[in-house]
């Protein structure tokens, strides 16, 4: 029963690492220094793919089952599907802004920083709500069979950054994340 819930917890921990990396690069940019754009592009590419193609649909499938098993708990969770769509739009805006910076399009440093900070804050708030409200409600209300059905419906997708066999396009980002985690206490 805990496997799919644990997968979501792990995804959130991994996404938090990426948001930390984005903040680290944003701090450099905000200070007028040159961030590592390869890292930023890796974060953006990952954000445009894995969460929207696997992570969010998995959560949406769990929420549908939660609505059937415990409508009151599902109501307390709210409309995650709409939040996921809003996060996708925020990720796309962030990706477009990063592309503008890379193409040296006229972009105000302040507006870029504000938009990037908003993107990071939205993601953190969303994951916090899921960790505090959604996942505990799902763990209480759904049976092992419910969660196994979601797992079977979704299939197993490899995480292109955090699974053992990292996709080549994310190798630089993975190495940098590992380096930073060794530096952190």
pTM of this structure: 0.90
Question: What backbone torsions phi and psi does residue 148 show, to the nearest 5 degrees?
Answer: -65, -35
**Number of domains observed in the structure of the chain:** 1
Q: Give 166's pLDDT tier (boundaries 50, 70, 90).
A: low
Q: Tokens 């995480």 correspond to what residue?
A: 159
**Ranges 2-11, 129-138, 172-181: which has the least confidence:** 172-181
Look up residue 119 and give its two tokens.
Answer: 């993107």
Q: Give 106's pLDDT tier (boundaries 50, 70, 90).
A: confident
Q: Is the pLDDT reported for residue 122 higher than 90? A: yes
The pLDDT assigned to 1 comes to: 40
What is the chain's length?
185
Specify the CATH number for the domain of residue 42. Answer: 1.20.120.520
Q: Is the pLDDT reported for residue 24 higher than 70? A: yes
Look up residue 160 and give its two tokens.
Answer: 């292109």
Residue 148 domain boundaries: 2-183
The pLDDT assigned to 178 comes to: 78
The pLDDT assigned to 68 comes to: 96
């Amino acid at each position: 029963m805990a496997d799919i819930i644990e997968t979501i917890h792990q995804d959130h921990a991994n996404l938090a690492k990426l948001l930390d990396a984005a903040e680290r690069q944003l701090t450099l940019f905000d200070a007028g220094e040159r961030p590592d754009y390869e890292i930023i592009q890796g974060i953006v590419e990952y954000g445009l793919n894995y969460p929207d193609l696997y992570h969010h649909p998995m959560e949406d499938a769990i929420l549908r089952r939660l609505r059937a098993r415990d409508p009151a708990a599902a109501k307390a969770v709210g409309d995650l599907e709409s939040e996921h769509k809003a996060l996708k739009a925020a990720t796309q805006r962030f990706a477009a802004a990063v592309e503008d910076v890379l193409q040296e399009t006229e972009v105000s440093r302040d507006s870029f920083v504000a938009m990037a900070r908003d993107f990071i804050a939205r993601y953190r708030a969303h994951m916090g709500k899921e960790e505090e409200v959604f996942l505990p409600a799902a763990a209480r209300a759904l049976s092992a069979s419910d969660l196994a059905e979601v797992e079977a419906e979704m299939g197993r997708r490899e995480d292109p950054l955090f699974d053992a066999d990292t996709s080549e396009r994310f190798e630089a980002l993975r190495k940098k994340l590992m380096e930073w985690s060794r530096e952190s206490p």
